[in-house]
Structure 1
Amino acid sequence: MSTVPSAPASQGSTTTAGKGKRPRPPFGVPALSVTAALIALFSLLPLGYVAFMTAATGWDTAVGLIFRPRVGELLGNTILLILITVPLCLVLGVGGAWLVERTVLRGHRVWAVALAAPLAIPAFVNSYAWVSVVPSLEGIWSGVLIATLSYFPLVYIPAAAMLGRLDPAIEQSAASLGLGPWAVFFRVVLPQLRIAMTGGALLVALHLLAEYGVFAMIRFDTFTTAIMTQFQSTFNGTAGNMLASVLVLFCLALLLLEVRSRGTARYARIGSGAQAKAVRLGLGVFQLPAQLALLALTVLAFGLPFWLVLRWVLLGGSDIWDAAEFIPALLQTLGYGLAGALATTVVAFPLAYLAVRHPGWFSKSLELSNYITSSLPGIVVGLAFVTISIRLAPGVYQTAGLLIAAYVLLFLPRSLVNLRSGLAQAPKELDEAARSLGKSPWVAFLKVTLRLSAPAAAGGAALVFLAIVNELTATLLLSPNGTSTLATEFWSKSSEIDYPGAAPYALLMILLSAPMTYLLFQQSKKVAGQ
């Protein structure tokens, strides 16, 4: 991102900026810091809930509940699921990105979008599509199949973006030293993708830990399905809380593992001049196998589930479009999505502003606290809000405000990352220049900083909206009585094996998600410098 030099002051000017004193922001740094600190403390509520419930249970009881055979079974299922699914997603994501960005693949621009398209289909809708055709699907391998097809784009998108940004000069130098294409890929290209691969692998693993609908449909027990079962049978039982504590520790362990696996090596181009253009490798006789492989992957991950949803819609006919059920679910989904996106953007602004304009250990610590909380599964955040609201503020339980607050905690980083990039493109020098021309702090902020960061804020809000539309577990736990969203109505009907009745809700979620998925893909390319 380019930096903008500060505007020179007019001759004879006696402005504050001309004296070298930095103007204060209109809202004041102390007030902003206090607000951001309160937001960070609020975001730590789920972790505090887990710690409190573990301590309140008592050491002997907690040990007995944690070290029992059922927990060992769930732990084995979860570890096995991650150990199989994550490598498969890495192979498909990195392999697809390399074919699209580094080879003479016919139609590579079409394939670039097609490989990101499966993110438009919520994972539990993907599971519904497969189960509606093959009801016998169950167990670990069914979970691996559906999870891999649903989540490999989480690796593909950052890997493709990073491949497009990397300077190919290193690869060309390696080739000139006699290394073949495969040696160049494994010894030069792959190490440069470490950050994209570890980040994508972390996202896939966290999604596996948080996912409920996919594994409930195929009757495969994970921590999330077990916690939901405990909650439904004993409401806020001690056993469910202990399962949640193990799940939280698992998530934190994955975060630490990802940080350590990044390594310390950095790949950057230093020097002037334009970056060399990558020389795409010819596929030769492998052109047809590559096309067939990508076709099979996109058909299985996107084409087949989308067609099955359309098939159930056609089989259901006009009877499944019941306005009394369909319209309220759509309107409430849009309402919660818009309100949650707006609230998340507003809450993220103080954190993003401090991180960009006043970087340091304080702002970084506040930002990190939100990333940690957002890595927790929705069911843990939901349980925390259920327990805290019932004990401390019973009137807040099952209200729209509480549900939106949970959305804010779950999806805050999606807005925070975008706001940071937007504020970085609105340097403080421009704000100072506006004030030197006589504008008040608030006018300068609104007309310069807010205006320049608005597109990035809108992009982050769109991603939060997408996440809320497809959110299931926290909504099931916290939504007010009588609430019906597309996700909850879909879940209610699919749980009753009413596949035609669930199809309209699935189709609408896909149609709402598709443009947001495309926005995410384009944004990743923009961030990568393409």
Structure 2
Amino acid sequence: MSPARRGTRACRTGTPALLCAAGLVAVAAAAPLIHLLVRVMSADPERVAPVLLRPRTLELLSTSVVVTLATSVGAFAVGVGTAWVLARVVLPWSGLWRVVACLPLAVPSFVAAFGWMGVFPGLSGIGPLVGVLVLSTAPYVTVPTLAAFVRADQAVTDAAISLGRSPWRAFVTVTLPQVLPAALAGTLLVALYSLSDFGAPALLRVDTLTTGIYAQFAGGFDRSLSAAMALVLAALALACVGAEGALRRRSARLARGRVVPAVRRSFGPAGSSLVTAALATVAVASVVVPPAALVARLPSADRYLSGVDDLARATVTTLALGLMAAIVTVVAALPVAWLAARRPGRIVSLWESVTYVGHALPGLVVALALVSLTLAVAPAAYQGPTALVAAYVVLFLPKAVGSARAAVAGVRPDLEDAARSLGDGPARVFARVTFPLAAPGVLAGGVLVLAAVMKELPATLLLRPIGVDTLATELWRATSVGAFGAAALPALLLVAVGLVPALAVARGIRSIGEDTR
């Protein structure tokens, strides 16, 4: 048998082991949701049904839906408008504005809410909450829509204009449908974020499903009731993820083929100034005002201010948990990503889809499930680092799987075939060829996980070991007692942490469409 055939056979014989590994990862990712379902189904229906149908639960549900819809509409309008300007208008320092458009990703919504409360003491209510969430989440719409505008075929729009349609009508009927799937996919991510957000509603005193679930868990003795409410939230989130995935696949299909790029417009000095002022207003409101308000609060720090040792310990703990979770998440993602890129099939697609369950589950839901799961299976792990890291892995596994899959798919298969023809087995080919070439993309996924872990609040609040604090919990501790000056420093450190993924995204889109003039 030739070396090439032996290599191919070895690769095939190694696939079942990878399938088993990917299946174990998928089961682990789905375990929290499965446990919630089992717990609710085994609970007394006469206790669960009244909680789900009581006016208070319906009020929390309606508030969550209103906030989510309003935030989605606002983020869609801001994101699509910003993307159109960046893609189709000649601006001074266009590369800079693309970076600025991504910077709101650096400011967690609860930090932004805290910053605006420094500007307007006593700020609260649904309106301010929606405003904060729109400013924090608009980049989720801007980034994919910008890429879609660049891929849109201008020849079709020109043909519509030549047939007598006005430029505005041609844009609405021809150009907008080309970018709508990407824009709506980003909007559904905004909806998912809004549904799962806990810190901003709590700070702005808006009772939503997330704050209601947390209150039920903290003050109730029957945690099955919290699990039942969590399932309602999970169902809404799963619906958003399913719709987002369908729109993302449709957007990918529309992206195929050659297109005629649009020529970027010049609005003249007055028009350019107006557009630049609009972009600057959004940037100031989202990435300048909150940090500036935090800096202004520093001199008013009171007795609740954490000592240097406590803050340093929280920073080290945040980094340690983030690094641990990032490493475990990347290792768990690799078999799923490799199979999805190299051996696609029904089973592999199923495992990959299941790993994205964490994308649909709010941190609070995962934390509640793991509280019950650890108490039932491994009580010693409750409020230990193992359960907390497991929650992070479930929540942020999709980030690592997506990055690793794209990285592995970018490695030329003929390089792997050449290594097999020299007699290398599957493991050696992966170690010597695939992984070194895919490492930058895999590392990028790990960085995204690290940054997300550092900002995660509800899961950390419920699962952290007693006496252990992170930057997010330090901020929460200070704000919960009204010590806003003491909360400013950990909030600023969280913003600094958030700059890592924000600048990574900005670097990726800075040159998109720069050749279209």
TM-score by length of 1: 0.91
Name the counterpart of 1:326.
Answer: 311
The CA deviation at 1:253 is 2.6
Match of 2:84 in 1: 98
Map of 1:444-483 to 2, 5 A cutoff? Answer: 444-483=429-468
What is the Cα deviation at residue 35 of structure 1? 1.0
- Secondary structure of 1:85's aligned partner: helix
The aligned counterpart of 1:281 is: 265
Deviates more, 1:105-114 or 1:390-399: 105-114
Residue from 328, 332, 347 that aligns with 1:343: 328
Distance 1:124 1:264, change over 3 A: closer
- Gaps spanning 5+ residues in structure 2: where? none
Judged with a 3 Å threshold, the aligned counterparts in structure 2 of structure 1 residues 431 and 493 are, in CA distance, closer, same or farther, namely same
2:469 maps to 484
Which aligned pairs between 1:230-269 and structure 2 lie closer than 5 A?
Answer: 230-234=216-220, 236-258=222-244, 266-269=253-256
C-alpha separation between the residues in 2 aligned to 1:391 and 1:122?
A: 33
Q: Distance in 2 between matches of 1:34 and 1:385?
A: 23
Amino acid at match of 2:192: L
**1:348–1:416: 8 Å Cα contact kept in structure 2?**
yes
- CA deviation after TM superposition for structure 1 residue 348, in Å: 0.3
Report what 2:34 is aligned to.
48
Contact 1:167/1:269 (<8 A) preserved? no
- Cα distance, 1:407–1:96 mapped onto 2, change above 3 Å: same
Tell me, in whole angstroms, the C-alpha distance in 1 between the residues paired with 2:217 and 2:305: 31
Aligned 1:424-463 pairs, distance under 5 A: 424-463=409-448
> 1: CA distance between counterparts of 2:413 and 2:250?
31
Bigger shift: residues 461-470 or 42-51: 42-51
Alignment of 1:387-426 (within 5 A): 387-426=372-411
Question: Residue 186 of structure 1 is aligned with which of 159, 163, 172?
Answer: 172
2:297 to 302, 306, 312: 312
Task: Label 1:268 to 1:382 Cα distance change in 2 as closer, same or farther (>3 A).
Answer: closer
Equivalent position to 1:135, from 118, 121, 124: 121
Shift of 1:316: 4.2
Q: Call closer, same or farther: CA 1:526–1:424 in 2, change over 3 Å.
A: farther
Q: Indicate the residue corresponding to 1:164 in structure 2.
A: 150
C-alpha distance 426-367 of structure 1, shift in aligned 2 (>3 A): same
Name structure 1 gaps, 5 residues minimum. 1-13
Instruction: Provide the C-alpha distance between the structure 1 equivalents of 2:513 and 2:226, rounded to a whole number of angstroms.
Output: 42
CA distance in 2, matches of 1:460, 1:388: 28
Distance, in Å, in 2 between the alignment partners of 1:367 and 1:95 is 34
What is the aligned partner in structure 2 of residue 208 from structure 1? 194
Deviations 1:70-121 (A, max 9, x none): 1110111011112211011000001001001111223322111111111101
TM-score (norm: length of structure 2): 0.93
The equivalent residue for 1:118 is 104
Deviations along 1:159-184, one digit per CA (max 9) or x if unpaired, are: 11222333433334334444433223
Q: Specify whether residues 420 and 523 from structure 1 end up closer, same or farther in structure 2 by C-alpha distance, changes over 3 A only.
A: farther
Indicate conservation of the 8 Å contact 2:367/2:391, yes or no. yes
1:319 & 1:82 partners in 2: Cα distance? Answer: 34
1:521 aligns with 2:506: yes
How far apart, in 2, do the equivalents of 1:346 and 1:236 lie? Answer: 36
- Say whether the 8 Å CA contact 1:171–1:188 is kept in structure 2: yes
Q: Percent identity?
A: 35
CA change 1:20–1:480 in 2 (3 A) is closer
Contact in 2 for aligned 1:161/1:525 (Cα 8 Å): no
Cα 1:21–1:170 change in 2 (3 A) is farther
Q: Does the 8 Å CA contact 2:411/2:437 hold for their aligned counterparts?
A: yes
Q: Deviations over 1:312-331 (max 9, x none)?
A: 23554999572221110010
Counterpart of 1:77 in structure 2 is: 63
Partner amino acid for 1:270? G
Q: Between Structure 1 and Structure 2, how many residues are aligned?
A: 513
* Deviation, structure 1 residue 262: 6.7
Residue deviations 1:377-430 (CA, integer Å, cap 9, x gap): 101100000001111110111111111111000000111111011101113321
Which residue matches 1:22?
A: 8
Q: Distance in 2 between matches of 1:448 and 1:178?
A: 56
CA contact 2:87–2:149 (8 Å) conserved in 1 = yes
Which residue identity does 2:240 align to in structure 1? L
Q: Distance in 2 between matches of 1:263 and 1:455?
A: 25
SS of aligned partner of 1:105: coil
Return the letter of the residue paired with 2:267.
L
Aligned equivalent of 1:65 = 51
Q: In the alignment, which residue of structure 2 is the partner of 1:379?
A: 364
Q: For residue 266 of structure 2, what is the amino acid of its counterpart?
A: G
- With over 3 angstroms needed to count, the CA separation of the structure-2 counterparts of 1:425 and 1:253, relative to structure 1, is closer
Name which of structure 1's ranges 251-260 and 148-157 shifts more when overlaid on structure 2. 251-260
Question: C-alpha separation between the residues in 2 aligned to 1:444 and 1:527?
Answer: 34
Aligned to 1:270: 257
Structure 2 residue aligned with 1:11:
none
Comparing 50-59 with 170-179, greater Cα deviation is found at 170-179
Are residues 1:225 and 2:225 paired?
no
Shift of 1:473: 0.4
Secondary structure at 2:91 match in 1: coil
Equivalent position of 1:150 in the other structure: 136
Is the CA contact (8 Å cut-off) linking 1:155 and 1:200 kept in structure 2? yes
- The answer as to whether partners of 2:98 and 2:510 remain within 8 angstroms in 1 is no
Note closer, same or farther for the CA distance 1:441–1:528 as it changes in structure 2 (3 Å cut): farther
SS of 1:25 mapped into structure 2: helix
Name the residue aligned to 2:491: 506
* d(CA) in 2 for partners of 1:451, 1:161: 28
Q: Determine which of 281, 288, 291 is the counterpart of 2:276.
A: 291
Q: Sort the Cα spacing of 1:323 and 1:429 in 2 relative to 1 into closer, same or farther, 3 A.
A: same
Instruction: Return closer, same or farther for 1:441/1:82 CA change in 2, 3 Å cut-off.
Output: closer
2:182/2:247 contact within 8 Å kept: no
1:191 partner amino acid: P
Residue 235 of structure 1: how far off its partner (Å): 5.3
| Offset from partner CA, 1:175-226 (integer Å, 9 cap, x none) | 4444433223212221111221122111111111111110001110000000
